[in-house]
A and B are shown apart, each in its own frame.
Chain A
Amino acid sequence: AQSVSQHNHHVILSEAASLELGCNYSYGGTVNLFWYVQYPGQHLQLLLKYFSGDPLVKGIKGFEAEFIKSKFSFNLRKPSVQWSDTAEYFCAVNLPGGGADGLTFGKGTHLIIQP
């Protein structure tokens, strides 16, 4: 079965700092990859996804992620964070053919942006 590791459980940054959240998965075959975000008081929502093609994926609100197959990684990046990016970020994976079905999530990274 596949698993997902998120290296940083808590990250505190100042506004305008650059962000990179790590995500590694364990599965030897082809996977679909996702980043979900949960803003305070809101429900989980999709930030971006990778199924195939260009390994650099752009999502909403200026976020992007790069799929590096050799490193089994799908790190999330943003060049300049804003206070409104304070949220919980979850990396997730599932197997092709199932679309978003049966996602395996990491434990999440709690990001706090200080004004």
Chain B
Amino acid sequence: DAGVTQSPTHLIKTRGQQVTLRCSPKSGHDTVSWYQQALGQGPQFIFQYYEEEERQRGNFPDRFSGHQFPNYSSELNVNALLLGDSALYLCASTRGRPNTGELFFGEGSRLTVL
């Protein structure tokens, strides 16, 4: 049973560019959340998708957007990249109804902005 898978694992972009990160949730899960983890910090909640809609959002600018597809997979898009966007981006999945309170995380996509 595959867990949460993310791609790509590493990528390098330059300031001003745009990036798309992808996530496939654990089998049986329908809710996907995205987190940003800067070096030496804990993960910060970006947003959550359920039934193809953004349900909750953390304190991130509109440059961060997402999408969820009918097969529950998800994308995170970041526009107009800044140096400060360099971080590990984590995807986590869970089952929306009922929610056990346990998030399953992927290994992350490490983004470096030069």
Contact = CB atoms under 8 A, between A and B. Distances in A.
A51 B101 contact: yes
Interface residues of A, number: 25
A105 B48 contact: no
Main secondary structure of the interface of A (DSSP, over half): loop
A112 to B, nearest CB: 16
A107 B41 contact: yes
Interface string A79-115: 0000000000010100000111111111110000000
A101 B55 contact: yes
Contact of B94 (A34, A43, A51, A100): A100
B101 A43 contact: no
Interface of B: 3-4, 31, 33, 35, 40-45, 48, 55-56, 58-59, 90, 92, 94, 99-108
Interface of A: 1, 4, 32, 34, 36, 42-46, 49, 51, 90, 92, 98-108
